[in-house]
């Protein structure tokens, strides 16, 4: 990713970051689950999905 972004790209990035934070905050309030627990659950599910159907396979170093 380039270090220099256009103003529109930077604005969109910030806007989407705030949106994601607010969605996690709403989820935390509705479910009484901490940010850490939510983040762990998201990462765990992403890893499960990837292991079930890997889209990128790294070359073997052996």
pLDDT tens-digit readout, 10-57: 999 999 999 999 998 898 899 998 888 988 988 999 999 999 988 877
- pLDDT-derived band at 60 (thresholds 50, 70, 90) equals confident
Span 23-32, pLDDT tens digits:
988 988 999 9
Q: Looking at beta carbons, which pairs linking 11-14 to residues 24 or more positions away fall under 8 Å?
A: none
Candidates 28, 54, 55; CA nearest to 42 is: 28
pLDDT for res 57? 77
Q: Does the structure show a pLDDT above 80 at 58?
A: no
Residue-by-residue DSSP string for 39-56: HHHHHHHHHHHHHHS-S-
In this prediction, residue 11 carries a pLDDT of: 93
Q: Are 37 and 28 in contact (CB under 8 A)?
A: no
């Amino acid at each position: 990713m380039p270090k220099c972004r256009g103003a529109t790209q930077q604005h969109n990035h910030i806007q989407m970051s705030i949106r994601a934070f607010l969605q996690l905050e709403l989820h935390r309030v509705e479910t009484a689950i901490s940010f850490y627990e939510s983040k762990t659950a998201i990462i765990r599910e992403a890893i499960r999905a990837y292991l079930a159907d890997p889209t990128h396979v790294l070359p073997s170093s052996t």
